Structures are given as structure tokens and as C-alpha cells.
Amino acid sequence: MAIPQIIQDITSLPPDAQKQVTDFVAFLKARYGTVPRKKARLGKLEAEPFVGMWKDRKDMKDSAKWVRELRQHEWERQ
């Protein structure tokens, strides 16, 4: 179940039922504890081997133009 759906379901309940939900969540957190979330380790992008591999290609200086021309060429073939 998605979080927005859960929130919508809880807010559609009467106030007493919402209080029971909050109490139940507090009970579960006390019983099981909270699981610490792992932070994603992001490496330095510049250190990746693919960065700069096309730096000497003249046709890649304007990548948007290159993509436009490639698409145009492919669309004309069909």
C-alpha cells in the first residue's frame, strides 16, 4: 500500500479512530524500535571512467544538436 493512500485512509477516519491509529503506531515503534535508514553513498561522479570520454569529439560539443540530428535521421528512415 502506498503512503499517500495510507494517509488518505487515516484522515478519512473519525478523530477517535485516528487517535487509535497513532497510539498503535507508537506501540509498534516501542515494541520493534525504529530501523535506521542507510544513507546512500554517492561516489564522486567526476571519478567515474565514463566522464569525459567524448570530450575530444567535435560532434559532441553541442549534445542537444547531436541528439536532434540523430533523431531526425532515424525518424526519416521509418
Domain residue spans in the chain?
A: 3-32, 47-77
Average per-residue pLDDT for the chain: 87
- Tell me the average pLDDT across 26-33: 90
**Listed residue (47, 68, 51, 50) closest to 59, CA to CA:** 68
CA 11 – CA 4 distance, rounded (Å): 11
Look at residue 7 in the predicted model and tell me its pLDDT. 93
pLDDT at 50: 86
Q: For residue 78, what pLDDT band results from cuts at 50, 70 and 90?
A: low
Contact at 8 Å (CB) between 69 and 60? no
pLDDT digits (tens, 9 = 90+) for 34-66: 777 777 776 788 888 888 888 888 888 888 998
d(CA 19, CA 24): 9
* The overall pTM is greater than 0.75: no
